[in-house]
């Protein structure tokens, strides 16, 4: 081994140690917070990725993470995006604002359903010891997927009722649709996120006003889905949520086979979602896109979620050319917004930065579908960003500078479970 290689190995060992330490430090007893300060509760899709990371260290802790997440599930099947296990004044809006009256206290909206996909990954690592956990989690996961199909898939694609549901809060996919939100009753409030990180890396005030207006709307109708559908001006078929649910249904069907459960109902959901994806193809853009269900218009946004088509197992059509164009413009891919967009902002959350966590699922899909070169490039870029800079929430795609929260659970988790294991892991 030459000197350079020896130094790199030392650094990798150090990053491995730090990643495991981050998972332990962010552990609050059966669940992980994303990062102290900025996100002090259990977040839905963060938690699923945390479980993937834990599966590299402690399989039973990985299953516990998913089981704790489902403790927040509503009787409707919905799994909330935040579970407020212990109140923390450092986050806004807290349970007093959401007023969902659940125990444990939760928010009133959901988040991308990656849990079944991660459950499959954990099970595959240790099938024998995982069987009982899969048997316990199967019905809660199926109930959640059914809730999506019944409450959110009237168009075939998955509708979000709040930008926070997408996990890509300020993505441009719904900026035009969000203009219809009335913010006149929002009043004064104090944001907490901008006291933890630089405001240039976070959504703007107008975005927050709209986020809160939608929380108040949901709260005022007691989080009743049919009333929200009737009264809210905001309903967007999110390309990311649609691809993630479709993939999760495929993995749930696979898990059904492992435990001898019927997959017939799940196969029906898969067919429904596959048909729904067609309407999200944007020919002009050359990739899949989100659609404002109120106006029927595609958003015209080439976002990172467009490139989850391989992960979802749908026909990518000409997406590969679009992906190559985007990657060409970003030394550290994959940016959350096409750098050719006039709105590209390399620091601002989902309007430009590269997110290792999304790279992991885009890369996984590419590797599975034989797009090895692109998958390896994503793996390599993610490796370089974390090796050089550390475990940030997201990175500037132009320089690999770390942005947002630091010591971030899901960045540590994908380092352990995906980056250092190879893109097909």
- The catalytic residues are 169, 393
Cβ-Cβ contacts under 8 Å for 418 (sequence gap 6 or more): 52, 360, 363, 364, 379, 382, 425
Q: Which two structure tokens, joined as six digits, stand for 248?
A: 């999760």
Closer to ligand DGY at the Cβ: 169 or 338? Answer: 169
Closer to ligand DGY at the Cβ: 54 or 211? Answer: 211
Closer to ligand DGY at the Cβ: 40 or 379? Answer: 40
With CB atoms as reference, the residue minimizing the distance to ligand DGY is 164
Closer to ligand DGY at the Cβ: 40 or 402? Answer: 40
CB of 404 to ligand DGY, least distance (A): 10
Closer to ligand DGY at the Cβ: 81 or 347? Answer: 81
CB of 37 to ligand DGY, least distance (A): 12
Q: Would you tell me which residues interact with ligand DGY (CB under 6 A)?
A: 81, 164, 169, 193
Closer to ligand DGY at the Cβ: 169 or 371? Answer: 169
Half-sphere exposure in the Cβ direction for 126 (13 Å, CA): 16
CB of 391 to ligand DGY, least distance (A): 18
Contact 387, 339 (CB under 8 A): no
CB of 164 to ligand DGY, least distance (A): 4
CB of 73 to ligand DGY, least distance (A): 17
First CA to last CA across the chain, in angstroms?
26
CB of 82 to ligand DGY, least distance (A): 6
């Amino acid at each position: 081994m030459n000197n350079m290689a020896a130094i790199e190995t030392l650094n990798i060992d150090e990053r491995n140690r730090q990643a495991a330490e981050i998972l332990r430090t962010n552990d609050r007893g059966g669940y992980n917070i994303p990062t102290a300060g900025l996100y002090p509760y259990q977040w839905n899709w963060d938690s699923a990725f945390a479980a993937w990371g834990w599966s590299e260290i402690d399989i039973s802790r990985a299953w516990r993470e998913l089981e704790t997440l489902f403790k927040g599930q509503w009787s409707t099947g919905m799994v909330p995006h935040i579970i407020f296990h212990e109140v923390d004044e450092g986050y806004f809006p807290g349970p007093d604002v959401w007023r969902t009256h659940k125990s444990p206290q939760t928010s009133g909206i959901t988040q991308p359903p990656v849990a079944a996909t991660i459950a499959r990954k954990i099970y595959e690592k240790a099938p024998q010891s995982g069987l009982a956990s899969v048997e316990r989690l199967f019905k809660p996961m199926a109930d959640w997927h059914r809730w999506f199909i019944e409450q959110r898939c009237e168009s075939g694609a998955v509708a979000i009722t709040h930008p926070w549901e997408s996990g890509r809060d300020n993505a441009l996919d719904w900026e035009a649709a969000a203009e219809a939100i009335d913010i006149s009753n929002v009043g004064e409030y104090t944001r907490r996120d901008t006291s933890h990180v630089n405001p240039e890396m976070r959504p703007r005030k107008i975005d927050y006003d709209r986020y809160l207006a939608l929380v108040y709307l949901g709260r005022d109708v007691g989080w009743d889905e049919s009333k929200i559908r009737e009264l809210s001006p905001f309903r967007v078929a999110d390309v990311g949520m649609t691809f993630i649910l479709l993939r999760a249904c495929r993995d749930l069907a696979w898990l059904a086979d492992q435990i001898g459960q019927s997959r017939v109902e799940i196969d029906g959901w898969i067919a429904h979602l596959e048909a729904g994806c067609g309407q999200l193809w944007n020919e002009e853009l050359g990739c899949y896109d989100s659609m404002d269900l109120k106006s029927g218009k595609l958003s015209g946004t080439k976002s990172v979620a467009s490139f989850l088509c391989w992960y979802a197992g749908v026909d990518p059509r000409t997406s590969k050319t679009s992906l190559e164009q985007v990657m060409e413009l970003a030394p550290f891919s994959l940016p959350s917004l096409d750098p050719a967009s006039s709105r590209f902002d390399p620091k601002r959350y989902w309007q430009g930065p590269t997110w290792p966590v999304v790279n992991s699922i885009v890369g996984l899909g590419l590797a599975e579908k034989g797009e090895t070169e692109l998958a390896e490039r994503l793996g390599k870029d993610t490796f370089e960003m974390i090796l050089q800079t550390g475990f940030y929430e997201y990175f500037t795609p132009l320089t690999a500078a770390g942005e947002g929260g630091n010591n971030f659970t899901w960045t540590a988790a994908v380092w352990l479970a995906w980056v250092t294991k190879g893109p097909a892991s």
